[in-house]
Chains A and B, each alone.
Chain A
Amino acid sequence: MTLFLQTTLNGLMLGGIYALAAVGFSLIFGVIGIVNLTHGVFVIAGAYLALLFYTELGLDPLLSMLPVGALLFAVGWVYQRTIIDWAISRASVEASLVVTFGMAMILRNLLQLWFGPDVQTITPFYSFFSISLGPFRVDMVRLVALGSSMVLLLGLTLLLARTHFGRAMRAVAQQPLAAALSGLNVKRIHAMTFGVSAALAGASGAIIGIVQPFSAASEVAWTLNAFMVVVLGGVGSPAGALVGGLLLGLINSYTAQYFGPALTQAAMFLVLVLMLLLRPTGLLGNPYGESR
């Protein structure tokens, strides 16, 4: 019983990070309808940037989430304004799938060139602390990671619900023509959405860096995770990402514990297929309605 609860706890903690790492992917899909296969690169780029800030400046990864987020916001913005927009306006929204896939490969290789192929970790002083709660043990970094994820997800929820920019994103998602006729610069909102998405991915990368080893090659896994989270939880909302992330964390944790770590991928795909068959809109559905 203790083992089961400990496994559950580990899964939920991991799930919080999955949720944060996926929420930007979900946002872009919900607002623009693009499956951004470059998403995992943003996550890993965030991890490398946090590593640089840590080794060069001694900046704690939790603090470096701010500059990392800001840098990736700019990257996301420029990416949408150039490559993504060219692909959409010259070809189609579907074409962006091929384009983002190709860009992911190029960027992965660039990361490999710059940072080398070795697996990296960020190890701040609290890396080796853990807290005991009765029979349970919680790693400090995981607790910190979960906490930061929740704070950022809550921030995004407030942004979407309470601010003009948040409302504008939701309006553009539902009804781009009416949004433009209401005075919204749809292209600008798209660029901002990419910026926010990349910033959150980068911030999650900074956290992932202290929790797990990473390399350029792991970007594929983070794109896949984001995809899974959206299928499980539903598109476009932080709440959906949280539900999907926690479920994914539990699936991984249980599978690794009871069937062996080698089977986590297989279990993920099994759940993916079942979800697509049984509830293709995810558990929480699409808050932007049937327009997409």
Chain B
Amino acid sequence: MAGPVQASHLAPLLEVRGLAFDYGGVQAVQDCSFDVSNGGITALIGGNGAGKTTSVLSVSGARRARKGHIRFDGADILGLPAHEVVERGLALVPEGRLVFEQLSVHENLLIAGHTARSRRRLKDNLDYVYDRFPRLQERRQQNAGSLSGGEQQMLAIGRGLMTSPKLLILDEPSLGLSPILVSTIFRLIRDLHNDGISILLVEQNLHQALAIADYAYVLEKGRVVQSGTGHELLNDPKVKEAYLGVA
């Protein structure tokens, strides 16, 4: 696969080139390249074990890529530790939510609201998150571990928003949620996008992900094997056959 084709002609917010990562010799991501446009919704799709999570963990600094370039907002960020990547305005809402279960909902948000980048806006950010998620407001003193799966996902997203991100990466936010909640989450993603936050969405829920994505990349065995606008991929025979269960 050659360099990715970018739908937008603006400089991309995030550029990933030739990313490679292995877990003790087992290649999880190899020569992975993609762009995330400024102000858009980009999707990263692929089956189990395709390397999606490993890619976004590498981008966010939680894993140290072995090779490649990661450029975010005009600066190279490869090699920066995760907490410094957050300070640049890139927040990852990790797969599996990983809320701080024994901390209250409010404390979960306070922790993330304390970055040097977002500290001054703590009050505004709290208002924004509680406004977006009234459920969290109702349960603010409850331990995060006592929330339902959907509420924990909202909290995980809220925690990401507390860092005032330019780019929010969501790793399988709809995993394990009921169809109604999945729709809620996708509506929310659109709303966040309308509020000016760029989105990179990692999903196995292809129909809905491709429906809202401006542009999408298909990952297989750690490589980008296909890319196009959400609409193009939805109607692509190969994608249909491999992922959408349509022959």
Q: Spell out A's residues near B (CB within 8 Å).
A: 164, 167-168, 170-171, 174-175, 177-186, 287-289, 291
Contacts and interface: CB of A to CB of B under 8 A. Distances in A.
Contacts of B163: 182-183
Contacts of A179: 100, 111
Given A164-B110, A171-B111, A177-B98, A182 B86 contact: yes
Interface residues of B, number: 33
Interface in B191-215: none
B19 interface: no
A171 B86 contact: no
Given A167-B107, A171-B103, A289-B145, A183 B98 contact: no
Given A181-B160, A183-B115, 20 more contacts: A164-B114, A167-B107, A171-B107, A171-B111, A175-B99, A178-B156, A178-B159, A181-B92, A181-B98, A182-B111, A182-B115, A182-B162, A183-B86, A183-B111, A183-B117, A183-B118, A184-B83, A185-B81, A288-B102, A291-B101
Given A171-B103, A183-B87, A183-B163, A177 B62 contact: yes
A174 B103 contact: yes
19 contacts: A167-B107, A170-B100, A171-B107, A174-B103, A178-B94, A179-B100, A180-B61, A180-B81, A181-B62, A181-B86, A181-B92, A181-B94, A181-B98, A182-B112, A183-B111, A183-B112, A183-B116, A183-B117, A186-B83
Interface string B82-104: 11001100011010001111110
Contacts of A181: 60, 62, 82, 86, 91-92, 94, 98, 160
Contacts of B92: 181
Interface of B: 60-62, 81-83, 86-87, 91-92, 94, 98-103, 107-108, 110-112, 114-118, 145, 156, 159-160, 162-163
Given A178-B98, A183-B163, A170 B62 contact: no
- The interface residues of chain A, by DSSP majority, are classed as helix
